[in-house]
């Protein structure tokens, strides 16, 4: 059998394995899909520099790239299983089993995994092990009568390929039929090298059509599995639950947004970032699908009275609306990982006071349904700012990607220390006793937002006509507020930009300078913001790790 055929048989068997595990994971739970679990484990085990590089290089596609990587490794292993099984049928199950064991390890070490999570992997491996020999057998048709070898005598073991055409010949033993039509030729001696000579096999010829039909059958099984898996992953249920939720009215509406908060300049970030454009950063390879009917929030640790809230409990409480700009610590200067939204939720401080956080508990360690953790300073949450257990974003039930049914939002802190999505637990503890997800991975335990400003217009690298040109962007210093933005061109004098209004200090502010007289040639535009404490952002460049980038955003344009 040619090696491509053996590899194809392996690939199809691998696809069947994955295709069978998918609907099984749909029934059990999405994170029990072995490739997803393996990817998630890889994310957790990967060194911080690799993750930072992946986020920088692939941005929001990092998860797709990772899953594709896992599937590629699986495909290579499956092809290898096919090639090896063509030599010795025992090797196939060995390779598939070894990968299955890795998959099991990944699945069972996921946070919240139970014994039932093993099922998709076990079923998948079983399906692969069953399919592979089937395909290999279908690839071999009985050879024409004239080419049959005498059966080995008694005592000659199954390994009858050790003759002159020995099984050690690494070349694929593929031969076209010696005669068109395959008739026997009495003049011709029996072929020295049989059509197929592999250990443990009867003498049979490679049957391309047989293999391809069987492979198509396998592909159909894998495809059907994928479709069934999609239908079963509980996606539909959670989406229905999400769509069916009626949002209660806020007991405390947001501060009115001043008319001049959005300058409505085309190309400038709007004051409110629409949910579909809002950046997404998280470690979740498969977005947790949490049914609000099953959701609870447990508040424990260093508290006097542990509290457990259901989603209905949460909605029955007075809801507060707040406009808060969220940004990511891994946002490069000028980068896209920042957005502003109107959040609706319960004040976290109220719930914490009911639980009675003990003196000395300086950290709130929150966990998500998928086991991510986040350490937020308690004093920040309790100082009266709009720290929310949010259930809605921009007037819409929280999108699944942004933490449905409940997430945290704390103005003034980077997302990695404050904005837990799919939150299920909050433990009052101490920074010297507990560590959140990113801390041992090279990021600071505390992450107050640094004052930053970004030029949205003109775009970097733009070619512009000479004359009066609008320069505009956004600046943020959450909970301190932005007091001034200055712009300079080609290292000239700093000029005050006009600041748009903002309802509170917790959101970004748009800014504009609309009287730059652009002259032909190349120009560099820079921006800097000053927060309400009077501090101007530093021009000194710092990388995103460990606690947020610094430096001035600069764009270079060509004026013609």
405 upstream amide cis, omega within 30 of 0: yes
For residue 412, the 8-state DSSP code is: T
The mark string for 239-278 relative to ligand MTE (x by CB under 6 A, - otherwise) is: ---------------------------------------x
279 lies in the binding site for ligand MTE (CB under 6 A): yes
- Nearest to Mo ion of 326, 346 (CB atom): 326
**86 or 326: whose CB is closer to ligand MTE?**
326
Q: Which is nearer to ligand MTE, 99 or 438 (CB)?
A: 438
Per-residue binding letters, 261-300, with Mo ion (x by CB under 5 A): --------------------x-------------------
Q: Scanning residues 302 to 341, which ones bind Mo ion (CB under 5 A)?
A: 328
- Residues whose CB falls within 8 Å of the CB of residue 383, separated by 6 or more in sequence, listed in order: none
φ/ψ (deg, to 5) at 485 = -130, 135
416 binding Mo ion? (CB under 5 A):
yes
The secondary structure of residue 545, as a DSSP letter, is: T
H-type alpha helices, 29-108: 34-45, 48-58, 62-87, 91-108
Question: According to CB under 6 A, which one of 21, 325, 368, 424 is a site residue for ligand MTE?
Answer: 368
What would the x/- binding string for ligand MTE be over residues 312 to 331, using CB under 6 A?
Answer: --------------x-x---
Interface with ligand MTE, residue 508, by CB under 6 A: no
Shortest Cβ 385–ligand MTE spacing (Å): 17
280 binds ligand MTE (CB under 6 A): yes
Q: Does 422 bind ligand MTE (CB under 6 A)?
A: yes
Q: Does 402 bind ligand MTE (CB under 6 A)?
A: yes
E strand or H helix at 4:
helix 3-28
Find which of Mo ion, ligand MTE, none residue 419 binds, CB within 5 to 8 Å per kind: ligand MTE
Q: Which stretch binds ligand MTE (CB under 6 A): 112-120, 235-243, 257-265, 412-420?
A: 412-420
Of all residues in the shown chain, the one whose CB is closest to ligand MTE is 415
Q: Is 416 among the residues that bind ligand MTE (CB under 6 A)?
A: yes
- Is residue 63 near ligand MTE by the rule CB under 6 A? no
| d(C-alpha 409, C-alpha 423), whole Å | 11
Nearer to ligand MTE, 41 or 518 (CB): 41
372 binds, among ligand MTE, Mo ion, none (CB under 5 to 8 A by kind): ligand MTE
Options 148-156, 343-351, 413-421, 434-442: segment touching Mo ion (CB under 5 A): 413-421
Residue of 233, 394, 420, 429 that binds ligand MTE (CB under 6 A): 420
Give CA 359 to chain center in angstroms: 37
Return the closest-CA partner of residue 144 out of 186, 91, 200, 205. 205
Q: What is the DSSP string of 54-70?
A: HHHHHGGGHHHHHHHHH
For residue 536, say if its preceding peptide bond is cis, omega within 30 degrees of 0.
no
What is the Cα–Cα distance from 97 to 473, expressed in whole angstroms?
Answer: 55
* Binding flag, residue 301, Mo ion (CB under 5 A): no
Question: To 10 degrees, the CA torsion angle through 50, 52, 54, 60?
Answer: 160
Structure tokens at 499: 């600041």
Q: How far apart are CA 364 and CA 374, in angstroms?
A: 8
Q: What are the strands, taking DSSP E only, across 385-508?
A: 388-393, 396-397, 407-409, 423-429, 452-457, 463-464, 467-476, 482-489, 495-496, 498-499
- Distance (Å, rounded) from C-alpha 365 to C-alpha 198? 60
Member of 283, 310, 536, 550 binding ligand MTE (CB under 6 A): 283
Neighbours of 209 (CB within 10 A): 10
The minimum distance between CB 277 and ligand MTE, in angstroms, equals: 11
- The rounded radius of gyration (Å) of the Cα atoms in the chain is 31
Instruction: Please identify which residue in 117, 282, 323, 456 interacts with ligand MTE, judged by CB under 6 A.
Output: 282
Question: Applying CB under 6 A, does 343 fall inside the site for ligand MTE?
Answer: no
Which three-class secondary structure state does DSSP give residue 423?
Answer: strand
Binding mask 371-400 for ligand MTE (x = CB under 6 A): -x----------------------------
The span of 280-288, 313-321, 441-449, 479-487 binding ligand MTE (CB under 6 A) equals: 280-288
- Distance in Å, CB of 402 to ligand MTE, minimum: 4
DSSP secondary structure code for residue 32 in this structure? G
Token readout for 544 is 């995103």
540's tokens: 């000194």
CA distance 380 to 398: 24
User: Which residues sit at the interface with Mo ion, rule CB under 5 A?
Assistant: 281, 328, 415-416
User: Which residues sit at the interface with ligand MTE, rule CB under 6 A?
Assistant: 278-284, 326, 328, 368, 372, 402, 415-416, 419-422
């Amino acid at each position: 059998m040619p090696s491509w055929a053996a590899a194809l048989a392996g690939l199809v068997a691998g696809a069947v394995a994955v295709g069978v595990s998918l609907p099984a994971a749909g029934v059990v739970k999405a994170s029990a899909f072995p490739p997803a679990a393996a990817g998630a484990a890889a994310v957790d085990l990967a060194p911080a520099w690799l993750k930072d590089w992946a986020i920088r290089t692939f941005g929001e596609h990092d998860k797709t790239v990772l899953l594709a990587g896992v599937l590629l490794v699986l495909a290579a292993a499956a092809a290898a299983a096919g090639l090896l099984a063509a030599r010795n049928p025992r090797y196939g199950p060995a390779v598939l089993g070894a990968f299955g064991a890795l998959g099991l390890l990944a699945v069972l070490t996921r946070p919240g995994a139970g014994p039932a999570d093993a099922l998709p992997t076990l079923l998948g491996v079983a399906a692969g092990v069953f399919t592979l020999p089937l395909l290999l057998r279908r690839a071999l048709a009985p050879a024409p009568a004239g080419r049959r070898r005498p059966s080995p005598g008694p005592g000659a073991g199954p390994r009858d390929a050790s003759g002159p055409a020995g099984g050690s010949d690494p070349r694929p033993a593929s031969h076209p039929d010696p005669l068109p039509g395959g008739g026997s030729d009495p003049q011709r001696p029996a072929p020295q090298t049989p059509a197929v000579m592999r250990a443990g096999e009867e003498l049979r010829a490679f049957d391309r059509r047989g293999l391809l039909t069987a492979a198509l059958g396998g592909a159909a099984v894998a495809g059907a599995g994928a479709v069934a898996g999609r239908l079963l992953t509980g996606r539909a249920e959670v989406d229905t639950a999400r769509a069916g939720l009626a949002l209660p009215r806020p007991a405390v509406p947001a501060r009115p947004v001043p008319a001049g908060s959005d300058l409505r300049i085309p190309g400038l970030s709007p004051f409110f970032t629409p949910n579909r454009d809002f950046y997404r950063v998280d470690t979740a390879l498969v977005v947790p699908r949490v049914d609000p009917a099953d959701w609870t929030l447990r508040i424990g640790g260093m508290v006097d009275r542990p509290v457990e809230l259901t989603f209905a409990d949460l909605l029955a409480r007075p809801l507060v609306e707040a406009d808060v700009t969220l940004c990511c610590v891994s946002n490069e200067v000028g980068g896209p990982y920042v957005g502003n939204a109107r959040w609706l939720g319960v004040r976290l401080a109220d719930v914490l006071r009911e639980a009675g956080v003990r003196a000395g508990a300086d950290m709130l360690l929150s966990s998500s349904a998928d086991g991510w953790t986040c350490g937020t300073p308690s004093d920040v949450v309790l100082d009266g700012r709009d720290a929310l257990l949010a259930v809605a974003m921009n007037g819409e039930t929280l999108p699944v990607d942004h933490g449905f049914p409940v997430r945290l939002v704390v103005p003034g802190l980077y997302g990695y220390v404050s904005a837990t999505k799919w939150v299920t637990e909050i433990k009052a503890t101490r920074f010297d006793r507990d560590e959140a997800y990113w801390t041992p991975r090279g990021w600071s335990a505390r992450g107050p937002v640094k004052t930053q400003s970004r030029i949205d217009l003109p775009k970097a690298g733009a070619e512009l006509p000479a004359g009066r040109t609008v320069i505009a962007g956004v600046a943020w210093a959450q909970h301190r507020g932005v007091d001034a933005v200055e712009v300079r061109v080609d290292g000239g004098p700093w000029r005050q930009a006009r600041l748009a209004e903002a309802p509170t200090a917790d959101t970004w502010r748009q800014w504009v300078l609309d009287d730059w007289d652009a002259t032909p040639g190349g120009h560099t535009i820079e921006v800097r913001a000053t927060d309400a404490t009077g501090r101007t952002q530093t021009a000194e460049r710092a990388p995103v790790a460990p606690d947020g980038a610094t430096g001035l955003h600069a764009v270079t344009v060509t004026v013609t």
